[in-house]
Amino acid sequence: MKILFLHGWHSVPGGVKPTYLKEHGHEVINPALDDDDFTSAVKTAQAEFDKHQPHVVVGSSRGGAVAMNINSGSAKLVLLCPAWKNWGTASNVNPGTVILHSRADDVIPFAHSEELAKSSEATLIEVGNDHRLADPEPLSVMLWACELLGSGRDLSQLDEELPSEMISATSHRESCYICDACGEEIIIPLDLTEGINQTYVEDCPVCCRANTIHVAMTEDGSARVWAEPEQDRD
């Protein structure tokens, strides 16, 4: 998936968040944005957007304000504690935009994102412990949001309970499958940092035969998990 990442004020390309997205197999365009001249930063971002036509635009802090002020067509926005009240003129986003923000953010008030989410029918996910959102949990939620939106799913129709579900899904969820060989129910942890659609091989802990496990996340935050015999099995 192609992602345009717009960094924050006094950040540089190649930070933790764009690197994380890149490490998970995405093509990340991460231009350097002018720290002093907001108009110039928007112009740079627009040029990169027009050139690369990304599926998803991620904007962090001031980069979130940049993302809101470019013409991003039908691309989806993932905003990380966007500083939209500090920079630019845009005061709303497309419905379906996902906003990640920590209530403990001491740089940009959480209330700014609450206001934005309410006025725009965006989905606000409370996550992380600070403004940076560079810990494992916010990183995995960012990745999940990008992959969910980039695959064309629309979160705007989902109810308000979803955000906490999404967060718990990324860190503590379990599911199960029925072993094809012995019929036992096998509990597995769900690690969404591995993506919303996963296929992997594991040996059944009961009968030791190999199963190919398929995991598919659905829009309501639940997982569909099923197993089939691994093809190389004798």
Contact residues for Zn ion, defined by CB under 5 A: 179, 181-182, 204, 206-207
CB of residue 213 to Zn ion, shortest distance in Å: 12
- Beta carbon of residue 136, minimum distance to Zn ion (angstroms, whole number): 32
CB of 234 to Zn ion, least distance (A): 15
Closer by beta carbon to Zn ion, 16 or else 182: 182
Name which of 134 and 210 has its Cβ closer to Zn ion. 210
Q: How far is the CB of 217 from Zn ion (least distance, A)?
A: 24
| Cα separation, 64 vs 15, whole angstroms | 15
Question: Given the complex with Zn ion, which of 145 and 204 has the nearer CB atom?
Answer: 204
Measured from the CB atom, is 105 or 180 closer to Zn ion? 180
Closest CB 204 distance from Zn ion, rounded Å:
3
Q: Report the DSSP beta bridge partners of residue 228.
A: 212
Q: Which is nearer to Zn ion, 206 or 216 (CB)?
A: 206
